[in-house]
Copies of this chain bind each other. A is one copy, B any other.
Amino acid sequence: MIDSVKKFLIGKSLKTEQLKSEKFNVFWGLPILSSDAISSVAYAGQEILYILVPAVGFMAFTDMIHAVLMVILLLFILVFSYRQVIDCYPKGGGAYIVAQDNLGVTPSLVAAAALCIDYILTVAVSISAGTDAITSALPSLLPYNVIICVVLIILMTIGNLRGISESAKTFAIPPYLFIGIMIIMIVVGFVKYNIMGIHPKPIYRIPSYGNAISLLVFLKAFAAGCTALTGVEAVSNGIPSFKEPSQKNAKIVLLLLGCVALVLFGGMSYISTIYKATYNPDITVIAQVAKQIFGVGFMFYIVQGFTALILIMAANTSYNGFPLLLSIIAKDGYVPRQFSKRGSRLSYSNGIMFLSLTAIILLLYFKGNNHSLLPLYAVGVFVSFTLAQTGMVLKWLRNKNGAWRHKALINGIGGTLSCITTIVLAVTKFQEGAWIVCILIPALVFTMWRVKMHYNIVSTELKLDLAQKPKHIDHSTQKNYMIIPIDSLNKSFLKSYNYAETFTEDIIVFHVSVDEKATEKLLHSWEEYGMEIPIVVKKSPYRSLIRPLVKFIESEEFVVMPEDTITVVMPQLVVKKWWQNILHNQTSLFIKSNLLKRRNIALTTLPYIINE
């Protein structure tokens, strides 16, 4: 049953050879790789206003422009820094790879932890913002925002398990639609206000005081705006997806990404300023502006729809990036190996499900509230920026080829500013949630390090010296004991007995007596059946089924030489329906899992199929 549900939801298995990836040119690559960065227009601006409006009143709108300009400046510095990463890592260079290559293990693990956290947050943040876009248009859905978030994630999970990246080109359309509608809104808004002189009343009251801004408040506003800068790394990770010349194409896309962000983020901030939008938990800034420019009608719903759509796309970018990153880390042995295996549809299904699960937990914990999630966001990204750029600087200093001084300077500026921004983000957002990330990153680094250590120990222990040949077995002296636990004399016992008889003469039938009456009944039927060997009966005063057996094996009553083998043979009922397993095999499962902790006892399970 589970199999058929699985097949219905995610489709038939695919062959490994069917693994192929489409290659993009600049036109298709831009929207696909930049939806994460572009979509942050939907929340970054309003977070700035959330900080500024209560603090400085109507001066917020002037200060907002300054903060946004600083964010865009930082973006362009990062764009130029990452263009150099693209030059050096033609196979794709994320912070994990750059740090591993230039800085060593621990920094690369820090980058890995930071990136993982931010991939998960990208899903949570984008989906909650997308839901906000939906509920801003349809306020009657407001009470169901958490449910909407979870349903969206489940749909994305199914889609990605199926492997939706095949149809990636259709994913290029929503970003263009969003870019288009945003530009239309910015232009119409500008014309209406500045040329036609239509000045609508702000929807919400803006405090009439105009305080001078303090440095801390400005830094907070800047930090809020920095959430717009996640997703830049996507392009340098995605080089292998570009058509030749892939590096050149990626660099163009990265530059274009900067320009699109400049236009949209700058334009939207300007428009929010002139239309005096402000933070409100029930209606987004974009929705407020769209209401004032277009009124509540077709265009308003189009704006909200396209915004929701690109935010869902943005969440989906994590479904490409996160499982891939995790599979790389898994191959290096820092996370469980299962993350490096492709599922039946060739997607990294374990990574996908892990991503969905953690994002859903975050959304449930924060009740789908975008505003509470954002303080956790961006810290991780800037940690990874810092490490990647520092790694690049070291690379130039080591190689010293070409215009290395010039290049080291660019990456140096990028790294220094990223580092400063990381500190600003961590400090200004610490209390609101960044502390969680500050604890999680070292905790994850420690865990990954422990996992690697364990894998190392296991592989050392298992390493076979080729000189060590199979043992020579002296069948005349070695004894092979087979112990068959018996509860009642039935066909499955007989099957075990027949099986054991084919291998050895040293069979021990063993009964753990918990209930005296049952034991008597068993012994009676045993006698009646007329087996030649006796049953070993051990009482179990504590009703444990495992201790008497272990005690017996260890006791002097049971004489074993070091070269002898001991095998416990247990039948297992095989039933047709999954729920019937609840009715059987519970004790034998328990015995198995506990017995295996003891060295040198082999455990043979014999299936006994029940036909209904």
> Which A residues form the contact surface with B (CB < 8 A)?
13-17, 336-338, 341-342, 344, 451, 454-455, 457-458, 461-464, 466, 468, 470-471, 473, 475, 478, 480, 489-494, 497-499, 501-504, 514, 525, 528-529, 531, 541-544, 565, 567, 572-575, 580, 582-584, 586, 592, 596-612
Contact = CB atoms under 8 A, between A and B. Distances in A.
Contacts of A502: 473, 475, 478, 480, 565
A596 B607 contact: yes
B611 A461 contact: yes
Given A454-B583, A603-B607, 12 more contacts: A16-B541, A454-B580, A455-B583, A461-B610, A471-B501, A475-B502, A503-B503, A567-B604, A574-B596, A597-B607, A602-B606, A604-B604
A598 B463 CA distance: 33
Residue of A478, A497, A498, A607 with most chain B CB atoms under a 10 A cut-off:
A607
A464 B495 CA distance: 11
A608 B462 CA distance: 9
B542 A344 contact: yes
B605 A596 contact: yes
7 contacts: A338-B586, A344-B543, A458-B573, A499-B602, A574-B596, A601-B607, A604-B604
B605 A602 contact: yes
B514 A490 contact: no
Contacts of A464: 489-491, 493-494, 529
A454 B494 CA distance: 21
A341 B543 contact: yes
Given A514-B16, A542-B14, A602-B604, A457 B610 contact: yes
Contacts of A605: 592, 596, 602-605
A501 to B, nearest CB: 6
A249 to B, nearest CB: 30
A139 to B, nearest CB: 25
A606 B565 CA distance: 11
B451 A583 contact: yes
Contacts of A17: 541
Contact of A597 (B15, B461, B525, B574): B574
A500 B499 CA distance: 15
Contact of A596 (B541, B544, B572, B611): B572
A536 B1 CA distance: 32
A473 to B, nearest CB: 5
Nearest to A597: B574
Contact of A542 (B15, B583, B584, B606): B15
